[in-house]
Amino acid sequence: MVIGMVEPAANRHQHAGVGYIAVVDDDPDIRLTLSVVLQRAGFEVQTFEDGQNALDAATGPPALILLDYMMPRLDAAGFLSARRRHQHLGEAPVVVISAYPDLVESVVNETVGVLHKPIDLEILVECVQYHCGLQVSSPG
């Protein structure tokens, strides 16, 4: 598993004031990779193994939800429908992560973006920074 180039761990939680990033994916390697990359970029991260786990265990409103498209227990479409009634997750913006090129239109319409697998980790960090209202750093 390659984590790629990210900011040093000294930046951990520098963006803590924006709220946490919820990573919802049934693949433990992807959850771990995204969590490590985002923590090194200064974000707080909570991970959930599927949509139902996120609905059951979310502790406060996230700044952004990174949501896998296909999961066995509660997929993106089911999660997006159920989250509307959730105390903490109902208003959070969602970016769908998918290996599938063709996504259901109703899912795409309820999200602020789509990232396709394999995920470019630099683009991931820029996407999270953008949707959290942070300045995106330019390569230097």
> DSSP states of 55-79 as a string?
HHH--S--SEEEEES--SSS-HHHH
**What domains can be seen in the chain, in order of their start residue?**
9-131 (3.40.50.2300)
CA pair distance 61, 92, nearest whole angstrom: 7
Mean pLDDT of the residues in the chain: 84
pTM of the model: 0.84
pLDDT higher than threshold 80 for residue 107? yes
First-to-last C-alpha distance (Å) of the chain: 26
Task: Give the pLDDT confidence of 3-17 residue by residue, as tens digits.
Answer: 333 333 444 445 546
According to DSSP, the residues that pair with 105 across neighbouring strands are none
